[in-house]
Structure 1
């Protein structure tokens, strides 16, 4: 079992949110649903995405998500970026630099592995161009990053 598990507070949508997230990611499943009594309302839903466990709580309206905490997704290629960006942002808000809020207000960063590779180049000019290109993007575009890296206008 993992030592740290993100515990996500929802306003009555824990089961719906867990099902939504599990439907988006290929290697995902609902692990457990805890009800308040045998026929009572759902209290928590434990779900897993690529081996990472999360617990969704039906906590009520007292607290909401902010951008101060986000879930970072490492994407292998543009196809994965495109799919996750569209599915997670549906009903939510698309932001800058690969950030979005989903329909529940939870912030995600959908980031291709290529971004880190290009930004860690020892040539500060190349890395700087990549950073500037990323700052101008909403969804991260790998080819746009590569063009900036190469100095292509």
Structure 2
């Protein structure tokens, strides 16, 4: 069975985008230079059988490079996924109660900080793909039982 994944990346309120791109301008209430993260759900699927976290990170990066909303966001995307040896908080460096706000690639806020991302009550669903399209009804694989997140 192939499943959908989600990816997250750290950015600033002035990320490097191509001329004419306005993605960062849609982020509400961020001062210039403020850090934040983008998140999207992949429109592509893959099997969840790998035990190597880098396989999932590579998959998310490969999908992001081709996305109409993500291809111009420079950086290293991380899959919001756990394996037997690496949990999602470690993989995405979203440990602790602090952190930065997280926005979908359409500019809608998902979480105020890292604690909010993992408290089971995010502000808005992570349901926008790398192409800026609202995904349908689907299961997003994280490999993360409640005790790991």
The question of a shared fold, defined as TM-score above 0.5 by the shorter chain, is answered with: no
Shorter-chain TM-score range: under 0.3
Kindly indicate whether structure 1 or structure 2 has the higher relative contact order, using CA contacts under 8 Å at least 6 residues apart.
2
TM-score w.r.t. length of structure 2: 0.25
Higher-Rg member (1/2)? 1
